Amino acid sequence: MMPQLVGETVARAALSPATVDEMVQLFSEHYDLVCPEHFRRDLAQKDQVVLLREERQGTLQGFSTLAVYTTTAQGRKVGVVYSGDTIIRPAFWGTPALPSVWIKRVLALAAQLPQPVYWLLISSGYKSYRFLPVFYREFYPRYDCPTPPEQQAILDELAQQRFGAQYDAASGVVRFVSGATPLRPGVADVSEERQRNPHIRFFLARNPGHAQGDELVCLTRIAWENLTSAGQRMAS
């Protein structure tokens, strides 16, 4: 029987040095080119961290970092939740701990921010992108319809605010000048079976440089009514 994971969300400022060391180690096991100093600097710019620990031994098995802020997009004040570094050990893929804790937390955060609130996600791996169609009704970009001009303009503006010239609006991809951390070979390789999924095929076509750490920028609205039935179960 697979050990159970226990998830919690903590303020980034409350992380102990030992926990940060665990995060660096876990991230380095699954991503190439990880610079511990760069990881720590990036972490210092986040506000919240979701931690997933094995229930009995307390070993860190996954985490996700979040930046939460208010900005202006298309002349309107909006709330933003930006996902930073995220990893869960492959042995625990498919467990509900991460989406359950994450969705509940971002809904609570969204309630405190100017509306609408957007989740700004960058993804160099298909598993992160698959979070969108599984748990959200409306998200962009997607294979089955073009991104509406208004949503595209918001996505572009938020991405340019955060990544500057590293964001290529023509492709919708962020290419980091330094600090890219591609997944290690074998961690989440795309099998022929996986490529039959239209969402995964779309992700691979839109982000052909994903193996080098290129990140596809995605946008969805954080709101109960925008969750799929699976997302609403996770939030209940």
Looking at the 3D structure of the chain, how many domains does it have?
1
Question: Of 64, 155, 145, which Cα lies nearest the Cα of 116?
Answer: 155
Residue 209: the pLDDT is 92
Question: Of 210, 218, 163, which Cα lies nearest the Cα of 182?
Answer: 210
The backbone region for 158, taken as left when phi is positive above 0, alpha when psi lies in -120 to 50, beta otherwise, is alpha
Domain of 143 in residue numbering reads as: 5-235
CATH of the domain at 95: 3.40.630.30
Residue 63 and residue 49 in contact, taking contact as beta carbons nearer than 8 Å: yes
What's the average model confidence in pLDDT over 38-49?
95
Give the rounded distance of the alpha carbon of 234 from its chain centre.
17
Residue 187: the pLDDT is 62
pLDDT for 54-80, tens place per residue? Answer: 988 899 999 999 999 999 999 999 999
